[in-house]
C-alpha cells in the first residue's frame, strides 16, 4: 500500500517520503521505514512532537490505510491564545 510521511523541520521547509508498505503496517513501522527518525534526531515524542494522519492525532500503534499521509508534528513554540491576542492588539493599534 502507498503511504506518505511528511515532516517540516522548519516553517519554510518540508520533507516528504512516499513509501510502499505491507498491508496492516502501523505508524511505528512507517516512521522506522521512512528513516526520518534517524535523519532528524531532534524528533522526540516525549518532548512535544506528535503524529497525525490527515491532521487527526494518532498513536504509534495506529494501523495505516492505503493513501494515508502520516504527519510528524512539531511542538508548539507559542501558545495559540497568546498569538491571537498579540495579533488582535497589533491590529487595534493601527
pLDDT in tens, 7-57: 998 888 999 999 999 999 999 999 999 999 999 999 988 888 999 999 999
| Gyration radius (Cα) of the chain, Å | 16
User: What's the CATH number where 86 sits?
Assistant: 3.10.20.30
Residue 33 CA to residue 88 CA, distance in Å, equals 43
Q: With 90 as the cut, is the pLDDT of residue 89 above it?
A: no
Q: How many domains does the chain have?
A: 1
Range of the domain at 11: 2-92
Contacts of 33 (CB under 8 A, 6+ apart): 19, 21, 25
Amino acid at each position: 500500500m502507498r503511504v506518505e510521511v511528511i515532516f517540516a523541520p522548519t516553517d519554510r521547509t518540508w520533507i516528504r517520503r512516499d513509501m510502499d508498505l505491507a498491508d496492516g503496517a502501523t505508524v511505528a513501522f512507517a516512521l522506522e521505514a521512512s528513516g526520518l527518525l534517524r535523519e532528524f534526531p531532534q524528533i522526540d515524542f516525549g518532548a512535544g512532537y506528535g503524529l497525525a494522519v490527515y491532521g487527526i492525532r494518532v498513536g504509534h500503534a495506529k494501523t495505516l490505510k492505503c493513501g494515508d499521509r502520516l504527519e510528524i508534528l512539531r511542538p508548539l513554540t507559542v501558545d495559540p491564545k497568546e498569538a491571537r491576542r498579540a495579533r488582535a492588539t497589533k491590529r487595534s493599534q493601527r
